Structures are given as C-alpha cells and as structure tokens.
Amino acid sequence: MRRKGSPWTGLAPVFLKELADHLGSARMRVLEWLVLLTGIAAVYTAIREIGTVTAQDPFLLLRLFTHARDPLPSFVSLLGFLIPLVAIGLGFDAVNSEFSRRTMSRVLAQPIYRDALLVGKFLAGLGTLAISLVALWLLIVGLGLLLLGVPPSGEEVLRSFTFLVVTLFYGGVWLAVAILFSVLFRSPATSALCAIGLWLLLTILWPILVPFVVQAIIPPDPAAIILGVSSLEQIELQQTLARLSPNTLFGEIVLALLHPSTRALGLVFPAQLQGALLGTPLPFGESLLLVWPQITGLIAAVILLFAITYVSFQRQEIRA
Amino acid sequence: MSAVVISAENLTKRYGRVVAVDGINLAVRRGEIFGLLGPNGAGKTTTILMLLGLTDVTAGRIDVLGFDPVRDPLEVKRRIGYLPDSVGFYDNLTARENLRYTARLARIDRSEMDDRITSALARVRLDQVADRRVATFSRGMRQRLGLAEVLLKRAEVAILDEPTSGLDPQSTYELLEMIRGLKADGVAVLLSSHLLDRVQSVCDRVALFHRGRIALQGTVADLAREVLGGGFTILVEARGTDTAALAAIPGVRQVTDEGDGRFRLMADADLRSEVASRIVSGGGTLLRLNMLDPSLDAIYARYFEGARDAA
C-alpha cells in the first residue's frame, strides 16, 4: 500500500526552525568559541613559525592548516578532534527531546510525514556545521593573507575548499551517529553518552586495539618474526580495520589534500616508485583520486547511518 | 441526521500479543461532541492515534472526512486539529512563535497567517501573553494554547485527548466552555477523558471504553435507561410519613428506607409533585425532595459491576 502526498511536505519549516534553534542556542555558542579559539591559537603559532622558516614553500596557505608545533597540534588535527564533538552536541537530543518536551505528537499531527521532520533536523545540523566551518575557513584564509602577505594560489584555494567539504561530511557522520542514538534512546543523557563513547572508542581505543585484533586473526609467520616486521597480509588487514574508523578516513583525506606531495596511503613497493620524483607535489586531480575511496566511504557512512536512523524512527510509536 | 465525519469499523490494534483496541465501531457526526470515556489504558489514546494515522492499524477500516488515514494521512491531518494528552510546546519560543511554526507546517497562507494566529489567541484569551515565552505558562494556559492551535487550523474535526486532566476546576470549566464554542462553530469534537463526570456535561454522545472494547455507546440518557433500568431516582427527606405511604403512590416501583426520615424512591416517571402532595396531605412535613440525574459514574460503576458478576 502506498501512502499519498510528498514526504518533503513541511521540510522547509522544520529546517528553518531547527537551524534558528541551533544558531541561537547557548550550546552552539560554547562549541563555536571552542572551535574558534583553538583554531586561532593553532594557526597563529603556525604563522609565526612559517614566517621564519619556510619562505620558499609554494603551498603556504596549506601549511597554515597542517603545521604543528609543540605543545599545540596542527589545526586540522584539532579540527578532527573537535568536529565530532560539535556534531554530537548538535544531534544527540534531536529526536528524543521532542518526546521529552511532549511536542512530537503535536508536530506530527500537522500535515507532514516523519520523513520531513528527520531530514529537516539532519539538514539543519549539517547547515549549522557548514556555516561554522565556512566562517572558520574564511577566517583562516583571511588571517593568512593578513599575516603572511602572500596571496594563495588557485590550487591552494581548491585544495583547502575540498578539505572544507570533506570536513563537512566527516561532521555529517558524527551528526548521523548522534541523531541515530537520539532516536534509539529516549533519554538525551544516554544518547549523548553513547555517541561520545563510540567516538572515544573509534578515535582513541580503535587504533590501539587494531594491532591486537590483527595478531589474533592472522598469526605472524615465523620469517616475519625473525625479521621483526609484520607480514604483508597483516599490514593490509590492519589498514582495512583502521579504516573502519571515520577518523582514519578523515586523516588520510587530509594528508592527501593538504600535503600535495603525498603519493600513496598504504604500502609502497620500490617498483611502484620507479620514475617518480619524490617530494614533488601531485596535481590536485591526482590527490583527489588518491583519496576518492576514502571520501566515498565517508559519504556512504553518512547515508548508511541515516538510513538506519530513518527506519528505526519510522517504526517508533509516537505515544510517549 | 447530519453527515458522519469520522467512522471506524472493526478497528483493531495489537502490540505483539497485547490487544490494545479490539474491534471497535465508531461514528462521529458533524457538529456533535463525542466523548471517549474510560479508565487509563482502555485504548482511548491508541484509537485516537489510529484515527490520525499516527500509528499503524492492525485491522479494520477508518474513514475521516472521506480520507483513509492509513493511505492519505496528510489530507486527514490537514483537516483535523489534535490536542494531545498533556500537550507540550517549545519552551524557548513565545506562544505566537509556537503557533507560527504550526501554521507553517500546516501550510497556512502567509498573508493570513498573522491574523489567524492573533484571532485564535484572542479566542482562548491568551492575547495578553502572546509574546511571552511558553516556559512561563501554566498547565491550563498550555492546554488553551493547544486549543488555539486547533482553532488556527480551522479544523473540521477536533480531537482532544484528556483535555481537562490535571487542570483546576476553574480552568476545567473555561476549557469546557471553549470546547462548547467549537461545537457552536460546527466543528465535530471527539474528546477522551477518564474523568466521567467532568465531561458528561459537554458530550452529546459517549462511548464507554473497557479493555479495548466499547462497552456502551449512546447519549447519557440512553445509557442510563439501558444500564440503570430507565427509572427515576427520587430522594425524599420528610417527617410523618412511612414506606407504605410512599409505595402506594402510582408509578413508584420501590422504596428504600435509608433511616432518619430519608427515603430513596425508584419511579417510572418524574413523580416529585405527587410525592410532595401525598406527604403534605398525609400530615407530614417535607424537608427535601430531589431527583438524581443519571451520572456517568453511576452508569459506569453499575455496568461493570454487572459485567464482573456475569464473568
């Protein structure tokens, strides 16, 4: 039996209302300041360093994003750490708060489908992330122009803009995770805890666990033990498992996009390097091609998580 | 007889093995107030959610204003105003902003949106606080704001779930008056409640729910005749009379002496004047004479007493 009417009816009002809620909320303000301050701190130290050391670098703008100096990590690694936090903060109570405020049945009694409510909430979260990220990106490019005095090349702008888009998808993954938990758990505290727990697991614990998992699945072969290195299968499995974490995917994409000289992300045999000019930057298209699977993976993760959220939300009983 | 706006046939809802609503039949007509009455958990809210298309129907057929809420929920929801049980609003928004969000979702034309919001707020007497945040509202004000939402949509059918629960007597009275106002506009009102006596006064017809079934359906007077035996109950307090004298009045079926000069008469008709003249002409003193209205509480209690005895 097919239902009549468009699932998108009412999407625009939901989107605009949620966006306004996000942008006006105290929570958002705190998260924005967090991102902004850490970002400026990282970039400022990077600029001072770059100004004295690498005057001849053709990718000065990109250095702003990736330069790290103790004790501060680089801007991108800070972002990789903070974006999930912001996304979880935006999404962890998206659906269950409607139940706890007892507004769900009232809103769904209006002529809209549940689709519009869920999609509207997701897009509003993504929109909020996009607005903050674009502002941050412009701030950095502007700071770079002011303090370095070197105009960025077209390729630099292209690379950093692609980085911006990818960061948005990376945030989208965590937003989808947070909204999924907000559908599954009626208590916002539980859903926040689960989302942050999953984030800690994938970001901090997973990289530590992967080698042990690999050892358990593929026992090391004796020759490799004698040489003190891992076997080829082990390394490949290790990489595959590590890539289950969106953090790893994001890290690899950043590496390829913002370090144009990156040529490969896995094992490279000497034969494959024949004729290569090590250290020379790849053109933008080649860099993009290198991490295209990772980018697709991130987008697929967003879609998959959203689909699971959608199905479980559709099956949920509305009465609180 | 005016047109039927909501009809349900053999409507059934199961949650796993639990049967929440068990094959009920309903018909609500235009311009009447129909009460779904019964204790908590009897299936009233589930029935309402099925009528709105907010929950799946296990079996049966529903027709709301010519649309099927299972297949065409948007058309149904466009025409129905719904006030949920203990309705909630966005606390960080004002009353007006909350209604504006609803108006956008209901696709009310932008040009008339503000006028309709203002007049709806005025009708539920919230115009003074229209620009205050809902966080400061009392429960009664929230219920009234919910009613304003129904008015705003200019719904043909209003479904109100426990509209008076948790309200003080004054707010209850005001809300029931506003519900009568809806009826005067020609809106069909379906309301549910577990407080039988509260809503008895406004309902034209009622359906008494019991464990997912409709035990009784009809006007309060019909139900009284059916369950209480159709008699009139007259309370008499008098001196200088006795059971035999009262029982001798034609039409009196039964007299119970409750002691201290008080008698309870079951009669076929309203015999108050005959009773009074008999007592006075017999040399007695009439202290009190009172006819009991059939109350839903009495009907409900009596019916389920009978049902329990039969079981």
ipTM confidence score: 0.87
Q: Which residues of A touch B106 (CB under 8 A)?
A: 110-111
In angstroms, what separates the C-alpha of B260 from chain A's closest C-alpha?
Answer: 52
Residue A108 and residue B71: Cβ atoms within 8 Å?
no
How many other CB atoms sit within 10 Å of the CB of residue A286?
A: 13
- Tokens in use for A73? 């990590």
Check if B102 contacts A (Cβ < 8 Å). yes
Say if residue A317 is exposed, middle or buried (CB neighbours under 10 Å; 0-12, 13-18, 19+): exposed
- What chain A residue is nearest to B15 in terms of C-alpha separation? A317
pLDDT number for residue A234? 84
Instruction: State the pairing for strand pair B262-267/B252-259.
Output: antiparallel
Residue A319 and residue B87: Cβ atoms within 8 Å?
no
Place B216 in a pLDDT band, splitting at 50, 70 and 90: confident
Percent of chain A with pLDDT over 90: 48
Residue B198: pLDDT over 80: no
* Mean pLDDT along residues A276-300: 88
In angstroms, what separates the C-alpha of A109 from chain B's closest C-alpha?
Answer: 6
Residues of A with CB under 8 A from a CB of B: 1-5, 9-10, 12-14, 17, 21, 101-103, 105-113, 317-319
CA atoms within 13 A on the CB side of B242: 1
Place B2 in a pLDDT band, splitting at 50, 70 and 90: low
CB-defined contacts A:B, below 8 A: 86
* Strands of the B252-259 sheet, one edge to the other: B252-259, B262-267, B232-239, B285-292
Q: Which residues of B touch A101 (CB under 8 A)?
A: 88-91
Ranked by mean pLDDT, the top range of A207-221, A290-304, B236-250 is: A290-304
How far is B11 from A317, CA to CA, in rounded Å?
18
Check if B104 contacts A (Cβ < 8 Å). yes
Q: Which of A107-111, A170-174, A304-308, B167-171 has the lowest mean pLDDT?
A: B167-171
Residue B311: pLDDT over 70: no
- What chain A residue is nearest to B54 in terms of C-alpha separation? A318
Handedness of CA A296, A42, A19, A195 (dihedral sign): positive
Percent of chain A with pLDDT over 70: 97
Q: Which of A90-104, A132-146, B92-106, B119-133 has the lowest mean pLDDT?
A: A132-146
Of A10, A12, A105, the CB nearest to B84: A105
Check if B47 contacts A (Cβ < 8 Å). no
How far is B162 from B84, CA to CA, in rounded Å?
8
Ranked by mean pLDDT, the top range of A59-73, B128-142, B207-221, B250-264 is: B128-142
* Mean pLDDT along residues B173-190: 92
Hey, of A19, A27, A106, A315, which one would you mutate to test binding to chain B, going by the most B CBs within 10 A of its CB? A106
Residue B280: pLDDT over 60: yes
How far is B297 from B303, CA to CA, in rounded Å?
10
Q: Which residues of A touch B84 (CB under 8 A)?
A: 102, 105-106, 109
Handedness of CA A263, A269, A272, A278 (dihedral sign): positive
Place B1 in a pLDDT band, splitting at 50, 70 and 90: very low
Hey, of B46, B87, B105, B139, which one would you mutate to test binding to chain A, going by the most A CBs within 10 A of its CB? B105
Query: Amino acid identity of A191?
Result: S
How far is A152 from B30, CA to CA, in rounded Å?
71
Q: Which of A261-275, A282-296, B208-222 has the lowest mean pLDDT?
A: A261-275
Place B230 in a pLDDT band, splitting at 50, 70 and 90: low
Ranked by mean pLDDT, the top range of A81-95, B197-211, B288-302 is: A81-95
Q: Are B212 and B14 in contact (CB under 8 A)?
A: no
pLDDT number for residue A51? 67
Residue B72 and residue A317: Cβ atoms within 8 Å?
no
Check if B163 contacts A (Cβ < 8 Å). no
Q: Each residue of B52-82: pLDDT tens digit?
A: 999 989 999 999 999 999 999 999 999 999 9
* Mean pLDDT along residues A62-72: 79
Q: Which residues of A touch B82 (CB under 8 A)?
A: 105-106, 109
In angstroms, what separates the C-alpha of A157 from chain B's closest C-alpha?
Answer: 40
Residue B105 and residue A111: Cβ atoms within 8 Å?
yes
Place A56 in a pLDDT band, splitting at 50, 70 and 90: low
Which tops the pLDDT comparison, B303 or A289? A289
Say if residue A49 is exposed, middle or buried (CB neighbours under 10 Å; 0-12, 13-18, 19+): middle
Q: Each residue of A223-276: pLDDT tens digit?
A: 777 777 777 888 888 888 999 999 999 999 999 999 888 877 877 777 777 777
Percent of chain B with pLDDT over 70: 97
Place B190 in a pLDDT band, splitting at 50, 70 and 90: very high
What is chain A's mean pLDDT, rounded?
87
Q: Each residue of B95-128: pLDDT tens digit?
A: 999 999 999 999 999 999 999 999 999 999 999 9
Which tops the pLDDT comparison, B299 or A298? A298
Q: Which of A11-15, A146-150, B12-16 has the lowest mean pLDDT?
A: A146-150
* Mean pLDDT along residues A298-305: 96
Query: Amino acid identity of A238?
Result: Q
How far is B275 from A201, CA to CA, in rounded Å?
85
Of B74, B75, B87, the CB nearest to A106: B87
- What chain A residue is nearest to B53 in terms of C-alpha separation? A109
pLDDT number for residue A55? 56
Residue B293: partners with Cβ closer than 8 Å, 6 or more residues away: none
Q: Which residues of B touch A317 (CB under 8 A)?
A: 55
In angstroms, what separates the C-alpha of A104 from chain B's closest C-alpha?
Answer: 8
Q: Each residue of B84-101: pLDDT tens digit?
A: 988 999 999 999 999 999
Q: What angle do CA B9, B14, B20 make, to 5 degrees?
A: 80
What is chain B's mean pLDDT, rounded?
88
Check if B149 contacts A (Cβ < 8 Å). yes
Place B223 in a pLDDT band, splitting at 50, 70 and 90: confident
